[in-house]
Amino acid sequence: MTHSVPSPLTQLSEDETLFYETVRQFAENEISPLVRSMDDEQKLAPALAEKLFALGLMGIEVPEEFGGAAGSFFDAALAIEAISTVDPAVAVLVDVHNTLVVNALRRWGSDEQRKRWLPRLAADTIGAYALSEAGSGSDAFALQTRAEAVENGYRLNGRKLWISNAREAGLFILFATVDPAAGYRGITAFVIEAGAPGFLVGRKEDKLGIRASSTCELILDNCEVPAANVLDEVGKGYKIAIETLNEGRIGIGAQMLGLAKGAWHHAAKYAQQRKQFGKPIAEFQAVQFTLAEMATEIEAARLLVYNAARLKDAGLPYVKEAAMAKLFASQVAEKTASQSVEIFGGNGFVRDYPAEKYYRDAKVGKIYEGTSNMQLMTIAKQVLSRQG
């Protein structure tokens, strides 16, 4: 892994190319044979998580002193992209863990918190990020989960919904309000370990796509959390969530980019094998043009995602670019996956071929970590503010 910035910014250095190809090859060898069974069973293969840790993909930005790879955010985006070409569901695990949980602890954790939890997150403990609730989706801070101050800490009560990695996670960053009347100023981030008294992982959602990725409700019933588990300061949860999710949008952009690349690859390969009227359908201009347009849009999405990740690593403003990357990459992923199904024809509509899974997996890209409408609002606010 490297922190060097090649020129132009949207190209890869030799080290980054090697890293990407290493992860992609891992995905082909270790993940690909499990994709169908994990999707059918709606469950991540336990041995696969162990291999992700062993390869260093769960501690990409964790400092070396805590057992991590000390890589860049761009490295994390490359890993997410490479895994998503094979299975976007596995990429969710890597994405949430790295871009949300690890980054939040790196940036806002105290020295003691970093020493306590970062080595575990790099070695064997999966992280989850618990913000959403039944009445708190796009309006992310209409939180009802309450944190009441008690002796030595806080007592939490409430429910979280749609929490990725919940079934596998050993560590959760969870948001609750200490004072509903204070609005967003009362929101506080807590670190909760799985198995804590009063903390329960509830029902798993039965989803359209990315089915191997667990998405569950969390139930907090008088769950007592030590004061030492408050991330940063009481009332700073709003800032943590906003800034972390801005980074996370680039991760979702990388996931959707990888998904589109995977769908295109299978469609192009099939088009060169499938024969009609005595020749491969790839020789028909209509199919060629479709594949060409798909490839062009994928390349445009790649440039947006890479640019946003580079800006983030360079410490430059990237909120607009992150929103654009997620918005466009999710659109490209859905369109590419749909066109892949059509190139496969009848075979694209059955589960014996990969096209239908990419199609199912693509839809969530426009929904989680900020809907497309929320990205458009962010982009409009950013571009219009620069006209004054």
Alpha carbon 12 to its chain centroid, in Å, reads 21
Cα distance between residue 270 and residue 354, in whole Å: 11
Is-contact 312 322, C-beta < 8 A? Answer: yes
Q: Looking at the DSSP assignment, which residues form a beta bridge with residue 230?
A: 190
For the record, the structure tokens of 19 come out as: 């890293």
| Catalytic residue chosen out of the listed positions 16, 133, 247, 369 | 369
Cα distance between residue 80 and residue 86, in whole Å: 10
Pick from 310, 182, 326: which is nearest to 245 by CA?
326
Kind of pairing, strands 230-231 and 187-193? antiparallel
User: Residue 66's CB: how many other CB atoms inside 10 A?
Assistant: 21
The verdict on whether 369 is a catalytic residue reads yes
Cα distance between residue 146 and residue 154, in whole Å: 9
Is-contact 262 86, C-beta < 8 A? Answer: yes
| Residues that are catalytic | 369
